[in-house]
Amino acid sequence: MAAETSCDDGLRWSLVLPVKVLARAKTRMAAAAGPLREALALSVAADTAAAALRCPAVAEVIVVTDDPLAAAELSALGARVVPDEPDRGLNPALAHGAALARRDRPDAGVGAMSADLPALRPAELARVLEAAARAPESFVPDALGVGTTLYTARPGVPFSPAFGTGSRARHAAQGARELLMDGIDSVRRDVDTPDDLRAALTLGAGPRTAEIAARLPALSPGGGTWTA
């Protein structure tokens, strides 16, 4: 890992968000969300992108997706949407988005962020990005302490995302600085399961996610799951 560098005042960031084709998204939510699963996946991604776009440290949000509905919705929010031209999995998709970001904003840092952080708060993201500016590479572990919700690289530093199962250990092993600080729960709370969604709602999920969640029987008091 390169030596820690001093923080550049005003360093801004291009954030790359990967969004799956909705038909394949949030499969672990299938029993709880039933026919609303795709709508839930889109709502979570939209709330994440909207919050990131409100963060003053974020210069742009680049969404990598091949889903036309997600592309239209997130573009309308102000994100830049690009197709997954590599189509070789998550990390190549992130590298593709980062390459476009660096081509157009070479003086900005680049980050890869999960698109399922529906409780994301712009102020908490700003704190994380301020800390990220002090190291060549950084990452934020997820709430379970196993995965990663955000990986960053400063300008000029190779961008090497290692998302997937056990990504916290992989990012640490490649020398990225782990960012663990108080008060960034919304940056760590990704949503894969009904319990994750309940935790995000407790933190304060965005309006789209909250509206869909209110329609899910499994999330109501004593609620069950969908039946065929």
**pLDDT for the residue 221:** 54
| Mean pLDDT for the chain overall | 93
> Measuring CA to CA, which residue among 142, 125, 119, 113 is closest to residue 199?
119
Residue positions in the annotated binding site?
Answer: 148, 164, 167
pLDDT of residue 217: 85
pLDDT digits (tens, 9 = 90+) for 195-228: 999 999 999 999 999 999 999 988 765 455 444 3
Contact call for residues 62 and 79 (beta carbons, < 8 A):
yes
Cα-based angle 29, 15, 90 (whole degrees, multiple of 5): 50
Known binding residues for phosphoenolpyruvate are 148, 164, 167
* Residue burial 176-188, b: 16+ Cβ < 10 Å; e: rest: bbebeeeebebbb
Q: Work out the angle between the directed axes of helices 37-53 and 68-77 (0-180°, nearest 10).
A: 30
Eight-state DSSP code of residue 145: S
Average pLDDT of the segment spanning 172-195: 97
Segment 111-169, tens digit of pLDDT: 999 999 999 999 999 999 999 999 999 999 999 999 999 999 999 999 999 999 999 99
pLDDT of amino acid 173? 98
Contact yes or no for 40/26 (Cβ under 8 A) = yes
Contact 86, 99 (CB under 8 A): no
Could you say which DSSP state residue 29 is in? G
Query: What is the SS3 assignment for 108?
Result: coil
Q: What is the DSSP letter of 2?
A: P
Q: What is the CATH number of domain 13-217?
A: 3.90.550.10
pTM surpassing 0.85? Answer: yes
Strand ranges inside 8-135, DSSP E: 13-18, 58-64, 80-82, 109-113
Q: What's the pLDDT score for residue 220?
A: 64
**Distance between CA atoms of residues 60 and 20, nearest Å:** 20
3-state secondary structure of 190: coil
Has residue 10 got a pLDDT over 90?
no
**Contact status, residue 205 vs residue 119, Cβ threshold 8 Å:** yes
Where does the pLDDT of residue 32 fall: very low under 50, low under 70, confident under 90, or very high at 90 and above?
Answer: very high
